Amino acid sequence: AAPAAVAAPLPSATAPEAEGPHPGAVTSPMVGVAYLAPEPGAAPFVTVGSRVAQGQTLLLIEAMKTFNQIRAPKAGTVTRILVESGSPVEYGEPLLVIE
- Give pLDDT tens digits for 72-94: 999 999 999 999 999 999 999 99
Q: pLDDT grade, residue 22 (50/70/90)?
A: confident
- Taking CA atoms, 47 is separated from 16, 53, 63, 94, in Å, by 20, 14, 23, 16
Q: Is residue 66 a contact partner of residue 60, using CB atoms and an 8 Å limit?
A: no
pLDDT level of residue 20 (50, 70, 90 thresholds): low
Specify whether the CB–CB gap between 75 and 13 falls below 8 A. Answer: no
**The CATH number of 23-98 is which of 2.40.50.100, 3.10.640.10, 3.40.50.300, 3.30.365.10?**
2.40.50.100
In this prediction the pTM is 0.77
In the chain, what are the domain boundaries? 23-98
